[in-house]
Structure 1
Amino acid sequence: MKITVTFNANERLLEAALYLPDIDTKDPMAGLLFEGSMTGATTQITEYMARQISQQGFACLVLDHSFYGDDELSPQPWESPAKRIQDIKAGFKFLQAQPLVDPEKIIGVGVSVGAEFIAHAIRETEFCKGLVMIEGPYDDSQNYVGELDVPTVVVDEDHMDSAIDQTVLWVRTMWDTNRQWPSRDNSIDWSLMDE
């Protein structure tokens, strides 16, 4: 189910698509915020992914950024990275305030350079608990992994349905109480895996 929602980002009214599962859930669900590439042209990709992933029991938000489409300001032919990061932070805050979303289970999903924008927003807020970076062969968003204090994963975007499956699986394992995530100081010794 797709619901059009609005919220403010630094006195600018934004519009977003909130995708919810078609089934009723009693418990709050994880919330995923999707962010596309620099031009916003990947809205079709992010909306497709959000629609598919929401059917797995997640609330998925896709932003319509300032200066793009349906917000209160007319579209402009330029990009404002600072305003885009403000929009993402406002999107995280919106998800956290929703009663159907568990505020401790909010994940960013960045497609291409969208992952870099989410990484910047994560550094400036504590709303987001993890980052899925969906990358093509020429993306370098992985360079931001070491700078974040949240778990991250890189997913190959070449096969969209596989990327969706990997995203769902990774988000579900985020809250598996038996899973221990290695910290930077407690890295995995892979040499022991061969014994």
Structure 2
Amino acid sequence: MLRALIYCLAPPPPTVNLVSNKSNVVRGKTVPNGTVSIKINAKVYMGRSDAKGLFNIKITTLAAGTRLYVTVTDKYGYTSKERVVIVVDRIPPAPPTVDSITSKSKVITGKAEANATVIAYVGSQKIGSAKADKYGKYTIKITPKKSGTSIKVVAVDGSGNQSVGKIVKVRP
């Protein structure tokens, strides 16, 4: 009975804005003037919410997939249940490398971020794509292109982040 009463008195878990692998601050909203605790692995970051319940707590930049456990303790000493937040990937992959392409080439090969989707374009037209293997190697099947044609190759990671394009001219 007492346990049920405590759960009724405990504040709801804080609302937390998106946290990415570029973030160095965790922002959100909770009860006014609460003590917010963020547990990341073995480290705990603490901060307070303002009179409107808003909080900003500085953290170190984290790897995508890291779990944050966020709670708030209100002015009466009651602590909320944990809100689990997972760090999302917002960093694009490096541009892929592209091996030499000739006017007789039927494939484009090179290296990209492991498991990324590699896409080749001539202008805005997609001419082929392939998934890089666990080592980053990829092979895209294409129809041969004329000498001098510019082919742009990009890598897209599992989170949808796209690299800068690598532009290669088809050699004779």
| TM-score (normalised: structure 2) | 0.23
Q: If you compute each CA radius of gyration, which structure gives the higher value, 1 or 2? A: 2
Q: Report which of the two has the higher share of strand.
A: 2
Q: Report which of the two has the higher share of helix.
A: 1
| TM-score (normalised: structure 1) | 0.21
